[in-house]
Structure 1
Amino acid sequence: MRAEYRHWQRIPTRWADNDVYGHVNNVVHYAFMDTVINTWLIEKAGLDIHHGAAIGLCVESHCNYKSSISFPEAVDAGLRVGHLGRSSVRYEVGFYPEDRDDVVAEGHFVHVFVDRGSRKPVEIPAHLRTAMEGLVGA
């Protein structure tokens, strides 16, 4: 349900997103997840992707497909946090056709935060954790 997500971003599909079967190919949904999560981290949570000491690395991703969309439709990507650990976060994403309530796909994406140089796990920086707490789902 749309109400379970705390942040929304509309993502337009592109001509190249369609496959030979006439719908957005399954791998594109993973790019959509990456887009909504990282846009939120940069614009809303203040992640410094160029110079920050800690970076988030994807260690797990998954997607369940419910129905299809095709170019030129846009998709509304809803974002929430399903689990917030010491150094990891599980984002949950729901994809909906723009202005409709029928879910197209639901997925999750796990980031482990690591030191930029050593790649060893570190605690999620306080400013990111605070922002993430605002996305914790119901």
Structure 2
Amino acid sequence: MTGEYQHWENVPTRWKDNDVYGHVNNVVHYSLMDTVINAWMIRTAGFDPATSASIGLCVESHCEYKAEVSFPDAIKVGLRIGKLGRSSVRWEIGMFRASDGAAVAEGHFVHVFVDRHTRRPVEITGPVRAEMEKLLTP
């Protein structure tokens, strides 16, 4: 399963990520997905969220929880693209406990790229699209 992802990041959990039940709260999983996607966009695809003419808006998200994870565990996060449309992209994310490789969660985000000012869909082009194509699953 881990071989299906083209990009990886190891993310440490934080003391504050644990909830009253002693495990990382579900909202942290969504935050990790969003963080890994946007870090990849900025570092790899050269996307500048502050100045780009277009921005990606999340129109759908989902997370399926597989196992608990708790501080001080680290989470190995895999990223791939399941579908790349004209103006939208479906990011697929796998989260695994770094210590033993156990699947923690799988999820997805769908972003629609829109003009920063008009909020109308725009085509994903140039270096951003070229880098996204490298993450497409066969």
- Indicate the TM-score class for this superposition, using the shorter chain for normalisation: over 0.9
Unpaired segments ≥5 residues, structure 1 = none
Aligned residue identity for 1:69: V
How much identity, in percent, do the aligned residues show?
62
1:13-65 deviation per Cα after TM superposition (whole angstroms, max 9, x unaligned)? 11111011100001110000001000000000010111110110111100000
Unpaired segments ≥5 residues, structure 2 = none
Aligned residue identity for 2:45: A
1:61-107 deviation per Cα after TM superposition (whole angstroms, max 9, x unaligned)? 00000001000111010000000000000000000011533211000
Map 1:106-117 to 2 at 5 A. Answer: 106-117=106-117
Aligned residue identity for 1:24: V
> Please, what is the CA RMSD of the aligned residues?
0.9
Q: Give the TM-score normalised by structure 2.
A: 0.97
SS in 2 for 1:86: coil
Tell me: CA distance 1:6–1:99, structure 2 relative to 1, closer, same or farther (3 Å): farther
SS in 2 for 1:96: strand
Q: Conserved in 1, the CA contact under 8 Å of 2:73 and 2:99?
A: no
Aligned residue identity for 1:20: V
Q: Give the TM-score normalised by structure 1.
A: 0.97
- 2:19 matched to which residue of 1? 19
- 2:74 matched to which residue of 1? 74
> What is the number of residues matched between the two proteins?
138
Runs of 4+ off more than 4 Å: none
1:82-135 deviation per Cα after TM superposition (whole angstroms, max 9, x unaligned)? 000000000000000115332110000010000011110000122111100000
Alpha-carbon distance in structure 1 between the residues aligned to 2:99 and 2:52:
36
